């Protein structure tokens, strides 16, 4: 679901595109959600100083930006770069940088990749988006009985960094795996969905088709949680919330049955929520 590496006072304004498969097997916008999450992850890593740049820039030699200075020229991607950091270093919006370079999936940034910083600079030869080699997968053998749903997992070594709580009390109907990136919790429409930990609302909206009404919360230590398929959203982007606060009502938006799709990510990497949530 959330595949991946918002500025806090403004969510994305552009519509998002479709991507991978949700647990029910329908094509959905997984790539678009990656963009939102990866940008939210970058926010949690701390503020970097903005600076004016030469046509080809090196962030290691940057200094404080001149107020109102507009970025121009190009930038060569270095190890450890994220789209958010590059945009912030050059005093520009993340969405603008992505638009200038036709980027829909920030995970495809590659070391040495050339990004243009203004519309007056020609697009680098071959475009700016790195194209990964296709990965061949072998479909699993058909089985007459469905695999059991995982309802427990070994405790993560960093689980104690945050005080976690369950976002919903229903039965787990979909476990964590490389495709789902999270778990699905069954429930009745209108049931409360609560914040799994104290944090800040990084995104609240329904711009990602296939995930319905979606909320992303940013937490300390590089963690992000996602809450999808809600009936209604009770918080707005930029709000701070406490652990256990009601942030939405459980729904069936863009899915086959009432459920909450819940994910935890650590610095952009999906982790099994069952390794962090308390036993129940």
Between CA 211 and CA 45 the distance in angstroms is 26
Contact 105, 23 (CB under 8 A): no
Q: What tens digit of pLDDT does each residue of 162-177 get?
A: 999 999 999 999 999 9
CA angle 225, 204, 162 (to 5 degrees): 25
- 233 pLDDT higher than 60: yes
Superfamily (CATH H level) for 159-275: Glucose Permease (Domain IIA) (2.70.70.10)
Q: Is the pLDDT assigned to residue 145 strictly greater than 80?
A: no
pLDDT > 50? residue 100: yes
User: The whole model's pTM is what?
Assistant: 0.54
- What phi, psi does 86 have (nearest 5°)? -65, -45
pLDDT, position 137: 44
Convert the pLDDT of each residue in 106-143 to its tens digit: 666 777 788 889 988 887 765 544 444 444 445 555 55
22: exposed, middle or buried (Cβ count in 10 Å: 0-12, 13-18, 19+): buried
97: left (phi over 0), alpha (psi -120 to 50) or beta: alpha
Average the pLDDT over 201-218 and give the result.
90
Average pLDDT over the chain, rounded to whole? 76
pLDDT for 53 beyond 70: no
What does DSSP assign to residue 280? -
Which residue would you say has higher pLDDT here, 262 or 77? 262
Q: Is the pLDDT of residue 208 over 70?
A: yes
Q: How confident is the model at residue 151 (pLDDT cuts 50, 70, 90)?
A: confident
Mean pLDDT, to the nearest integer, of 205-223?
90
Write the pLDDT tens digit of every residue in 266-276: 988 999 999 99
The CATH superfamily of 30-116 is LysM domain (3.10.350.10)
Q: What is the pLDDT of residue 57?
A: 36
Alpha helical stretches, state H, the chain: 30-44, 83-89, 94-100
pLDDT of residue 1: 56
Lowest mean pLDDT among 81-90, 118-127, 210-219: 118-127
Query: Picking from 8-17, 118-127, 147-156, which range would have the lowest pLDDT averaged per residue?
Result: 8-17
Judge residue 121's burial from the number of C-beta atoms within 10 Å of its C-beta, 0-12 exposed, 13-18 middle, 19 or more buried. Answer: middle
Q: Where are the domains of the chain?
A: 30-116, 159-275
Predicted pLDDT at 200: 95
> For 107-222, where are the E strands, in sequence order?
114-116, 172-174, 183-186, 192-194, 199-205, 213-218
């Amino acid at each position: 679901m959330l595949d991946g590496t918002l500025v806090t006072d403004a969510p994305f304004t552009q519509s998002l595109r479709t991507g991978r498969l949700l647990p029910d097997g329908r094509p959905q916008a997984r790539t678009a959600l990656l963009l939102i999450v990866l940008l939210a992850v970058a926010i949690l890593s701390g503020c970097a100083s903005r600076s004016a740049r030469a046509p080809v820039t090196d962030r290691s030699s940057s200094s404080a930006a001149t107020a109102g200075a507009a970025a121009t020229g190009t930038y060569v991607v270095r190890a450890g770069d994220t789209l958010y950091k590059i945009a912030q270093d050059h005093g520009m919006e993340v969405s603008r940088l992505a638009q200038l370079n036709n980027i829909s999936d920030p995970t495809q940034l590659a070391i040495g990749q050339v990004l243009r910083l203004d519309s007056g600079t020609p697009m680098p030869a071959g475009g700016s988006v790195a194209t990964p080699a296709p990965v061949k997968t072998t479909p699993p053998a058909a089985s007459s009985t469905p695999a059991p749903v995982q309802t427990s997992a070994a405790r993560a070594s960093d689980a104690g960094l945050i005080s976690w709580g369950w976002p919903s009390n229903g039965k787990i109907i979909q476990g964590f795996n490389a495709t789902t990136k999270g778990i699905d919790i069954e429930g009745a429409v209108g049931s409360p969905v609560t914040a799994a930990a104290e944090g800040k609302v990084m995104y609240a909206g329904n711009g990602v088709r296939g995930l319905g009404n979606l909320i992303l919360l940013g937490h300390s230590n590089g963690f992000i949680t996602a809450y999808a398929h809600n009936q209604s959203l009770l918080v707005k982007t930029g709000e701070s919330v406490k652990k256990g606060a009601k942030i939405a009502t459980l729904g069936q938006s863009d899915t086959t049955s009432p459920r909450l799709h819940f994910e935890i990510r650590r610095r952009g990497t999906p982790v099994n929520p069952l390794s962090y949530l308390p036993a129940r």
